[in-house]
Structure 1
């Protein structure tokens, strides 16, 4: 590995099947074919160390939310040689339960978050049940505790986490949603997180029903395309096809971990 290029791993840790189109798209017909969601965290490895993007949720939260935990996040990271207690930087794309749980898993890490996401998750919008549906008070409170122990770096728009790793405020799905752009040997790859849940959201201009600002979601699709080397360099946050399109780093990780810094399969 040379310069500031990086390896990127998508690690699948949970699944939610049997979702109707209406659960995945505004205006979706509930009688259309269902589209499952997978849940991922991402690991970026380069000469400047390892950065983890999002922290997932645990078995207790899986039960509470009716999701299937396939393997703990820590186990997936360890499968690619990453020990959670050695990670020094974690990017939180936004503070929804499936991206900001497991808050004690990275005891040495500094967390990177958009400042407006913290304002959103602790402000008056959380008085509205519809707005707070994807947030968990304990996850948000844990981030507040990290602020008070000097473990949070706030970003306001675009920012740099490490050479070749930048964050970009997209908004829309959540007020402070940020995506991550990573320099790789095949060009800049963008980890969209929930700026595009599924490939179909980006490709067809559709919008996921949990949303803060619909206009910002649609504008975000153009931003993702501008940040990435091509459409094949944008990785959605919840699409099961990610594991079909990209190769596993080893045969034993097939269906669990995908390598994103190499070209998709033909």
Structure 2
């Protein structure tokens, strides 16, 4: 079973510096932009959504406005919110799970340790709970009580050719997604590597629950991808330059065909 894979950009944050992206960086005050994505997997019969982005209300609350509502951003791929029945949640941070309520028919697929982390004693500390929003966690719990959460303990197969792999580091239950495509396995790293530079230069991202897990995770996602060109980081604007763009929707890139030019490192 092979899949087509698209990234869908819904927001950006350009007023950032490298210190926001890398600990112990040699040029910490240099500008360093960030893009925000969801990912779509399609095999001709089935559509799987990976993460949901966040909506304008969350953007206003955090002073991080979005470019497009996630449901509008998905429309050029023929996706209506009520069509999504399988939703992989890589982790519960606001920018990855902030739109759970937009997909009311979806069953969530996530790591069991992520739910425990987001509802446990670590959230007593403001620094740890800052990337989370209580309403998003409550939505995940509502799905749980409705019988629409599938939990994994490390590895899990979501569908033929689609598997999840717990990485941790950035968040306790962060998972990457490995997808079989015609050009080989693709690793959607999500925040296991915000940028290519995190993974390939071994640079820690500043929001970190476990630094050792994050560093080991860089190695794991490279193994899952098997080739640098099939590793897709979670927030790197380079993705928009390396992979072919959708003919009618500039914010969408097709990933399963591979990059159209060599990676610049």
Which bracket does the TM-score occupy, shorter chain normalised?
over 0.9
> Within 1, Cα distance between the matches of 2:201 and 2:112?
30
The DSSP-based 3-state class of the residue aligned with 1:26 is coil
> Within 1, Cα distance between the matches of 2:97 and 2:130?
14
Deviation of 1:227 (Å): 0.8
Gaps of 5+ in 1: none
1:12 matched to which residue of 2?
9
Equivalent residue pairs, number: 261
Residue pair 1:165, 1:180 contacting (<8 A) in 2 also: yes
> Within 2, Cα distance between the matches of 1:31 and 1:143?
36
* TM-score of the two chains, using structure 2 as the length reference: 0.96
* TM-score of the two chains, using structure 1 as the length reference: 0.95
2:195 matched to which residue of 1?
198
Match 1:78 to one of 59, 75, 78: 75
Backbone CA RMSD of aligned residues: 1.1
1:240 matched to which residue of 2?
237
Q: Do structure 1's residue 61 and structure 2's residue 58 form an aligned pair?
A: yes
Gaps of 5+ in 2: none
The DSSP-based 3-state class of the residue aligned with 2:114 is helix
2:215 matched to which residue of 1?
218
> Within 1, Cα distance between the matches of 2:100 and 2:222?
31
> Within 2, Cα distance between the matches of 1:141 and 1:28?
36
Deviation of 1:249 (Å): 2.6
Deviation of 1:31 (Å): 4.9
Deviation of 1:48 (Å): 4.9
Q: Deviations over 1:47-77 (max 9, x none)?
A: 4511000011000111121213111111121
Q: Deviations over 1:212-248 (max 9, x none)?
A: 0011011001101111130110000001111110001
1:264 matched to which residue of 2?
259
1:164 matched to which residue of 2?
161
Residue pair 1:20, 1:30 contacting (<8 A) in 2 also: no
> Within 2, Cα distance between the matches of 1:136 and 1:30?
31
